[in-house]
Structure 1
């Protein structure tokens, strides 16, 4: 580490020590208010007694904030950013490290868990967060807890479980852009068997006006989620949960907007109107008539927990998840029939884990095994008109251009000019598909020794063997006008080309927890994370991208005392063979992938230094103040061996992010309460790509949000209003995208001001 990083570590460690000493001097009262029960270590523990850096958010906290999606939640979790370009393409970022590749051949880097099952495959990962018990965001590698995909951390979603009694809730809402919301749950049961059904339907108009006469406005939303759960508890020793979930999206097109091509409404503007008309042959070639996303996800989970002897427990978690999605998109950002693509993603995942656990006053141990199988494919069909493609890409006809300053597609004349009137249109289509069949088998174990009531020492390891099989098939006919496939680097294969390889790894984890006082806990961890190697099969070549490894060192303090609870953690991470995903822009790329496609490759070594802090103060029972902050100084190491990537910051990584706010929830008499939660979130500049480019970046973003209302009849009824992005700040959600691979980057505007009202009834 250089002097700058060493100095920052010293300052942060001094801050941790000063915080602990100050709190110790203040007194010894042990109050657990604000301490959430979590299961990140596969046992129920208070948040303040988990020796890792973790943020837990309950359903009630999300309701107070007005959060109803994962990307909104990430604004309030230090070290977490979620970029939801679409439900088909969520970018999940922990500590500046992202996992968002759609390739079936590449492994995830950040684990997304749903009820204990890994759902990290990008196109099947999006999960609505209605009727959840809590969401735990675990930072740093946790191989013995969350498997190999948790290279840098995990987001664990735990749905609400059935419970004895009869209860229910129904919420209906309406907002601008004709936003409708209907959701709720019904619970019924007794001590032996209980059932719960829950659901959520969200629909709104698009917030980006589309001038096309064949396509509707962009970023319209139509989403449905349904869940049914049954809990069987024949005795105090045995609990069985069966959960079935269905998620569906029927959303309109993603607004990939060009800064290069004007529309009839004026000069190109990422925050203005778009004119995305797609392909006139979209239904035949791309699979759907219009731009947009059609996605269905089916998930079944069976979990059983059995206390079979004094101190002993056996838990098995089993899951099956299948997804199919088709997203049609206009990658050129204009009305031209130029770069019209679709992405079809289809896959299934099967997971089984069994874990034995033992606990007494001095020892806590667990061991078990995991089997994971997935079979996925990603299809990318392409449609264009040959003259338009060649004119917009290479300007073959001088002075004709591609799209005029008034939005007219002048390139539509190119075919007639190039063929001397023999043809006016020559449609062209191609397709490539990558496939991945991956199997992983692992055993794990760890032991926690508690020599005194103050000290806990943990050591564990996961040993794994995996087989990764990759396939690639493409059909790329020769262009009539150019005599070669239009997309540079594309080639027709003779059927599917297959390659496979086997790998193994050992991933350790060491933790300590020291109870300095009844209110203050110090913790530290050393752990190793790993992103699986990639068997990178292309149309003309094969390469093995080595595994990415990271060593993670961190420590911190957690305090729960009186009216205050909080934590401060410091970490340093060192990466080897840091894998990056980039868009192919060169037809001679050694990956053998066509221009415009995404590949993974090693950028060399990288490092990450940062801190995360959270705090909550509750001076009265009707007022809660909260705040958090995260700072990251990280990126590709600046040394010659890292080539063009040296010194680049990680994709989607802000140096600084923070949020703050307060909640008022006060009685006003006769069973009526008034509540309000205003909040502010901040994120510093981010780059959307590696290598970093100023043109493909977003400067700092500050958002103001508020949710407020009244509850009646002792909380049985509620009326609330919400306001998100109150100042209507303009900022980019993403930039570059597929168009960037053709030297035509596009830009996606983030959400504007949203507001509305919601009515809730409970019984």
Structure 2
């Protein structure tokens, strides 16, 4: 069924349901669609009153949809995609623009926040979604509101705070297939009338869903422990403090980078033990004492401490402060070639530290003018170290074309026919380093020209003092294949810096971002707006290995990215708020689009792809014609293409032209309680995984365009029972109910050597849950 037919069917169903029940319960508040209060414009507002394309979900909706992670959330947000290659390597995509680089020198394009604190660095941004008050996703350039990294949008997680007003406690346990087990709990404890403590957490495990054909843990598992402690202190009616500590630790098994060039085999015998399917079992290994014998997998910890302070100076002015410190440490070991022979073995050792401080003064006297202004400071220091190991013998035999496709050869055979001078184990390590000191000043004001017309203008100035660094070392001498001689040790992937030392270079950058918005409200239930916004991503000093051993590091300055966005939008709630509608059309043009490319050595480096543009539409609808039925749907269209630069005419990576979500919740009384049935269906059109769209003209060795995922849909179902006047509930659920086969990613490091790898998408999951509300 095409997306247009699905939309037509959904619209017809909503219209029919509304027509039969729109006026039957005219005064029943149970038929109203939930109205959320958001703070996207740094003050509390109804979503209807915010002249931004914003999708917001409260805790009830998040629970209803079974959302635990960002990739599930993105299915129900038009214009937003999240690729969960692994917790250590996510891709956040807003209106076609992807932010996923793990380099310490790079800047994000899509900002992710926890209570206004940026957690945007790729390796520390993917976190469990639990015990939230709401999630706000603001699309379009939001630099004036959110600051650095909100080039094309921002996601803000508003966490539930400790509350001195009431005791509260909840818990939930889930079990399911693939050995799934999850437990989460929350306790809110008032200590006094002015002080409270809230503790919450989640433990989650699931076996891998891609079979490890060589034995051991299956690939793409889940192993997460996340916790939060929140303190609230309200010493006076005018002063409030929230102190929040977050911690998460992830230890999943290895990611299934699977080759479709070479079949899974037993490396000792060469016997074929699997097939070339994108979603079937893989034969991947860590070998030969790499990093002291580390196995394939991820070990990542993320922690952060935030202090939110609010002081009401008087009835007109209030002062807010956000103080934060955050760090992440991650190590991922992965088999980059995707097949059983020890050709390549990589790791990524990434670390980041950041501290930030923001002061904001808000003005609102209940009159025509509301405004805020402030200053902020942001510090970040981190590095990304990439140890790698390769077998020169396997590499030489493959390069010579002797490693026949698709079955290859056994390792003993390869060792026997390869030149004796080649090493079985060669190791190199390269690393990039980045440090940022950033200073911002910002202001934003809204003025009501009339009761129906208001204008908003905002501006932010940013000054960055940054440095970029690089080092590379040969861990066990030079590579014979790299051309080492008796006097010069050469690398195969990278050439070493002199003595393996870090070479760094400092630079500064500054710029303005701004927005202008006009909003017209013909009545209390309709809002129309038009906006122009300028977004900016600071310039980057990209780093690369020396051209010769011991030579100078290659520093390349990539100019600041700039996006100009134009948007028209409309929002409405109708029929006593039984129906809410939102829609926006937009166009943006992009200058100096920085993209990631694989060079001939298999390194991911930054490059300037020139101009780009996109035109799109985003729509949301929710209807509750009767108290026992709620239906909703979203649709996003985004035609994003490169302009006159490196990839002229190509589609953006990870960016479908069309995306759809449909869902409903139907409740029925019975057995002394209530049953709730929630079906959802999400669909997206074709996506490419690289800016080159896997076109042969951009690749030296790969002449087949197979690194693409065609259109596909996912169906989820939940049915739950809640007894009347009882504190418990049970639920059965299934995701990807029809076991749709798809891939999350393709290409990867192996693509630079003509042996692209593929990562399978999640299969059908099902299970049961039991929850208590004390």
TM-score (norm 1): 0.91
SS in 2 for 1:62: helix
Question: In structure 2, what is the equivalent of residue 262 of structure 1?
Answer: 263
Residue 378 in 1 paired to residue 384 in 2?
yes
Call closer, same or farther: CA 1:340–1:194 in 2, change over 3 Å.
same
Of residues 202, 208, 211, the one that matches 2:210 is 208
Cα distance in 2, alignment partners of residues 68 and 131 from structure 1: 10
Alignment of 1:233-312 (within 5 A): 233-263=234-264, 264-284=272-292, 289-312=294-317
Question: In structure 1, what is the equivalent of residue 587 of structure 2?
Answer: 572
Question: Deviation per CA, 1:135-156, whole angstroms, max 9, x where unpaired?
Answer: 1000011122100210000011
Cα distance in 1, alignment partners of residues 586 and 37 from structure 2: 24
User: 1:252 deviation in Å?
Assistant: 0.2
SS in 2 for 1:650: coil
Q: Would the aligned equivalents of 1:148 and 1:529 in 2 still touch at CA under 8 Å? A: no
Question: Deviation per CA, 1:624-666, whole angstroms, max 9, x where unpaired?
Answer: 01001000112102x4xx14x1001111010000111110133
SS in 1 for 2:148: coil
Cα distance in 2, alignment partners of residues 616 and 172 from structure 1: 30
Of residues 507, 517, 524, the one that matches 2:530 is 524
Cα distance in 2, alignment partners of residues 186 and 135 from structure 1: 21
Cα distance in 2, alignment partners of residues 539 and 333 from structure 1: 25
Question: In structure 2, what is the equivalent of residue 11 of structure 1?
Answer: none
SS in 2 for 1:660: strand
Cα distance in 2, alignment partners of residues 413 and 438 from structure 1: 51
Q: Would the aligned equivalents of 1:313 and 1:356 in 2 still touch at CA under 8 Å? A: yes
Cα distance in 1, alignment partners of residues 755 and 671 from structure 2: 61
Question: In structure 2, what is the equivalent of residue 626 of structure 1?
Answer: 632
Question: In structure 1, what is the equivalent of residue 683 of structure 2?
Answer: 682
Residue 83 in 1 paired to residue 83 in 2?
yes
Cα distance in 2, alignment partners of residues 342 and 305 from structure 1: 43
Question: In structure 1, what is the equivalent of residue 4 of structure 2?
Answer: none
SS in 1 for 2:282: coil
Cα distance in 2, alignment partners of residues 328 and 413 from structure 1: 27
Q: Would the aligned equivalents of 2:288 and 2:425 in 1 still touch at CA under 8 Å? A: no
Alignment of 1:165-244 (within 5 A): 165-189=166-190, 190-213=192-215, 215-244=216-245
Question: In structure 2, what is the equivalent of residue 668 of structure 1?
Answer: 670
User: 1:448 deviation in Å?
Assistant: 0.9
Q: Would the aligned equivalents of 2:56 and 2:137 in 1 still touch at CA under 8 Å? A: yes
User: 1:409 deviation in Å?
Assistant: 4.2
Alignment of 1:522-601 (within 5 A): 522-540=528-546, 541-561=554-574, 562=576, 563-585=578-600, 595-601=601-607
Question: Deviation per CA, 1:317-358, whole angstroms, max 9, x where unpaired?
Answer: 111111100000001111111110000000101111110010
Moved more, 293-302 or 493-502: 493-502
Aligned length: 714
SS in 2 for 1:682: strand
Q: Would the aligned equivalents of 1:355 and 1:366 in 2 still touch at CA under 8 Å? A: yes
Cα distance in 2, alignment partners of residues 236 and 514 from structure 1: 35
Call closer, same or farther: CA 1:482–1:245 in 2, change over 3 Å.
closer
Question: In structure 2, what is the equivalent of residue 444 of structure 1?
Answer: 442
Alignment of 1:393-432 (within 5 A): 393-395=399-401, 399=402, 401=403, 405=407, 409-419=409-419, 426-432=424-430
Call closer, same or farther: CA 1:573–1:481 in 2, change over 3 Å.
closer
For structure 2, the residue ranges without an aligned partner over 5 or more in a row are: 1-14, 16-21, 265-271, 485-489, 547-553, 695-704
For structure 1, the residue ranges without an aligned partner over 5 or more in a row are: 1-18, 20-25, 586-594
Residue 704 in 1 paired to residue 715 in 2?
yes
SS in 1 for 2:753: coil
User: 1:578 deviation in Å?
Assistant: 1.1
Cα distance in 2, alignment partners of residues 417 and 619 from structure 1: 74
Cα distance in 2, alignment partners of residues 714 and 344 from structure 1: 52
Residue 732 in 1 paired to residue 747 in 2?
no
Question: In structure 2, what is the equivalent of residue 9 of structure 1?
Answer: none
Question: In structure 1, what is the equivalent of residue 130 of structure 2?
Answer: 130
User: 1:480 deviation in Å?
Assistant: 3.5
Q: Would the aligned equivalents of 1:311 and 1:358 in 2 still touch at CA under 8 Å? A: yes
Aligned-pair Cα RMSD in Å: 2.1
Call closer, same or farther: CA 1:412–1:636 in 2, change over 3 Å.
farther
Residue 757 in 1 paired to residue 768 in 2?
yes
Cα distance in 2, alignment partners of residues 131 and 225 from structure 1: 11
Q: Would the aligned equivalents of 2:482 and 2:492 in 1 still touch at CA under 8 Å? A: no
Residue 719 in 1 paired to residue 720 in 2?
no
Q: Would the aligned equivalents of 1:444 and 1:462 in 2 still touch at CA under 8 Å? A: yes
Residue 610 in 1 paired to residue 628 in 2?
no
Cα distance in 2, alignment partners of residues 565 and 94 from structure 1: 23
Cα distance in 2, alignment partners of residues 620 and 567 from structure 1: 21
User: 1:481 deviation in Å?
Assistant: 5.2
Residue 742 in 1 paired to residue 750 in 2?
no
User: 1:537 deviation in Å?
Assistant: 2.2
Question: Deviation per CA, 1:563-601, whole angstroms, max 9, x where unpaired?
Answer: 10110111110111111111112xxxxxxxxx1111112
Q: Would the aligned equivalents of 1:80 and 1:95 in 2 still touch at CA under 8 Å? A: yes
Cα distance in 1, alignment partners of residues 538 and 725 from structure 2: 52
Question: Deviation per CA, 1:189-230, whole angstroms, max 9, x where unpaired?
Answer: 1541111000001101110001124x4210111101000001
User: 1:606 deviation in Å?
Assistant: 0.7
Question: Deviation per CA, 1:369-399, whole angstroms, max 9, x where unpaired?
Answer: 010010010000011222112222343xxx4
Q: Would the aligned equivalents of 2:286 and 2:294 in 1 still touch at CA under 8 Å? A: no
User: 1:668 deviation in Å?
Assistant: 2.8
Cα distance in 2, alignment partners of residues 132 and 34 from structure 1: 16
Of residues 637, 654, 657, the one that matches 2:656 is 654
User: 1:453 deviation in Å?
Assistant: 2.5
Cα distance in 2, alignment partners of residues 126 and 663 from structure 1: 28
User: 1:715 deviation in Å?
Assistant: 5.7
Moved more, 598-607 or 487-496: 487-496
Cα distance in 1, alignment partners of residues 371 and 482 from structure 2: 66
Q: Would the aligned equivalents of 1:65 and 1:706 in 2 still touch at CA under 8 Å? A: no
Cα distance in 2, alignment partners of residues 202 and 714 from structure 1: 30
Question: In structure 2, what is the equivalent of residue 470 of structure 1?
Answer: 468
